[in-house]
């Protein structure tokens, strides 16, 4: 089997530095807990092979909804990697962010409320169906045991 490799690059672009920067960013975010908070810290998070049945998928789906239903409306650190006008750009971005936050905070709050209500409704429906299934399974078991006694 022949293995082919390709190298992508451009004049004046240090791909090794870009890759190192990406690796450093990932390491920093792992240390800060960014991936854990977003539910991205497990390799099997979206592996369809792990879902051997509908119940396993539903349990994963509901847990994912619980972890991600709410929009994070907290402030975040504004940084600028470019030199020169970097400080001015950070100041400009902060001003723009504060203006946007004024308009979007209400929207985010309402979205969080809707997401919470939908999550509660889905969990309520799921719990009710689980109770019905358990009751039916118990009834079937009782009827089957009663039939076996009479035969």
Task: Give residue-wise pLDDT tens across range 97-146.
Answer: 888 888 888 888 899 999 999 999 999 999 999 999 999 999 999 999 98
DSSP 8-class letter at 44 = T
What is the pLDDT, as a whole number, of residue 132?
Answer: 96
Output the six-digit token pair for 147: 């039939």
Q: Which of 45, 44, 40 is nearest to 26 (CA)?
A: 40
Q: Determine if the pTM surpasses 0.75.
A: no
Give the mean model confidence (pLDDT) for residues 67-95.
84
Q: Which of 25, 40, 39 is nearest to 79 (CA)?
A: 25
Top pLDDT among 64 and 6 is at 64
Under 8 Å between Cβ of 86 and 80: yes
Q: How many CB atoms lie within 10 A of CB 111?
A: 15
């Amino acid at each position: 089997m022949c293995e082919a490799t390709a190298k992508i690059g451009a004049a004046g672009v240090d791909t090794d530095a870009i890759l190192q920067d990406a690796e450093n960013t990932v390491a920093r975010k792992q240390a800060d807990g960014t991936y854990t908070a977003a539910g991205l810290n497990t390799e099997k998070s979206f592996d369809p092979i792990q879902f051997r049945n509908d119940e396993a998928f539903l349990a994963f789906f509901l847990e994912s909804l619980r972890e991600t239903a709410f929009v994070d409306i907290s402030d975040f650190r504004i940084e600028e990697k470019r030199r020169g006008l970097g400080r001015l750009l950070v100041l400009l971005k902060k001003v723009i962010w504060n203006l946007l936050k004024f308009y979007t905070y209400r929207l985010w709050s309402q979205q969080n409320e809707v997401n919470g209500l939908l999550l509660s409704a889905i969990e309520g429906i799921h719990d009710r169906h689980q109770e019905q299934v358990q009751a039916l399974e118990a009834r079937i078991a009782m009827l089957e045991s009663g039939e076996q006694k009479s035969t």
